[in-house]
Amino acid sequence: MTPELLDLLRKVDTPTVCNAIEVVEGKRGFDHFTRGTVLSSDPEAGAIVGFARTAKIAATAPPTEAPEVIRTRRMEYYRHMATGPRPALAVIEDLDGVDAVGAYWGEINTNVHKGFGLSGALTNGVMRDLGDLPEGFPVIAGSIGPSHGFVHVREIATPVTVFGLTIADGELVHADRHGALVIPQDYITELGAAIAKMQATEAIVLDAARAPGFDFDAFETAWSAFEKART
């Protein structure tokens, strides 16, 4: 990942990257993306891009393991988040699913993770303290709630599933207010050119539609050119 590509990925939205991956593949059908509606703590913040640091949590009931086991795992979790390749983001599966009540992502945890150098968080779980989250650390979550419940860490660095998307620790993720996707490692070097090609192709229709005097004939001409150029 070059600094130039990272800068580009942070500037474009996740639908753009999704389409660009299909340009790399030369066909439609890429499906390694989230399903359903997500909530963003900062919809205008732009994209979160980074290598996943994964974990699983639960919060609806107290942990059944010994307190020292829970404390040790909690510190192992924070050590995992503080290390590894950068850029990175936390990807956390809440095992409580649709019954999730534990707002793991609040003022304290977001500031801690930002201090570790992470770019943001992606979770199917709960966030809170929306007026007090640090700038530059977006949280993409499944819901908003007031309580942390009995939140505790269950697993660290294992594959997680959020919004129907399974993500392994270390995979490259692009996420924003639309959802998230995993960028295949083999596509990274081609992705910048694919984004440029896709944007140029879309401009065929967009420029025509925004021009004075646009009508069906102009649309038909532009769409024909668009069809020849698109994936």
3 state SS for the chain: CCHHHHHHHHHCCHHHHHHHHHHHHCCCCCCCECCCCCEECCCCCCCEEEEEEEEEEECCCCCCCCHHHHHHHHHHHHHHHHCCCCCEEEEEEECCHHHCCCEEECHHHHHHHHHCCCCCEEECCEECCCCCCCCCCCEEECEECCCCCCCEEEEECCCEEECCEEECCCCEEEEECCEEEEECHHHHHHHHHHHHHHHHHHHHHHHHHHCCCCCHHHHHHHHHHHHHHCC
- Same domain, yes or no: 98 and 66: yes
- Residue 6 is assigned to a structural domain of this protein: no
- Interval 166-183 mean pLDDT: 98
- Same domain, yes or no: 201 and 90: no
More confident residue, 231 or 68: 68
Number of domains in the chain: 2
- Interval 22-39 mean pLDDT: 96
pLDDT at position 18: 97
pLDDT digit string (tens) for 195-208?
999 999 999 999 99
pLDDT digit string (tens) for 56-102?
999 999 999 999 999 999 999 999 999 999 999 999 999 999 999 99
- Residue 14 is assigned to a structural domain of this protein: no
pLDDT at position 230: 78
Query: CATH number of the domain that 150 lies in?
Result: 3.50.30.40
pLDDT at position 231: 59
Domain hosting residue 213, numbered range: 196-229
Of the pLDDT bands very low, low, confident and very high (cuts 50, 70, 90), residue 229 is: confident
pLDDT at position 176: 98
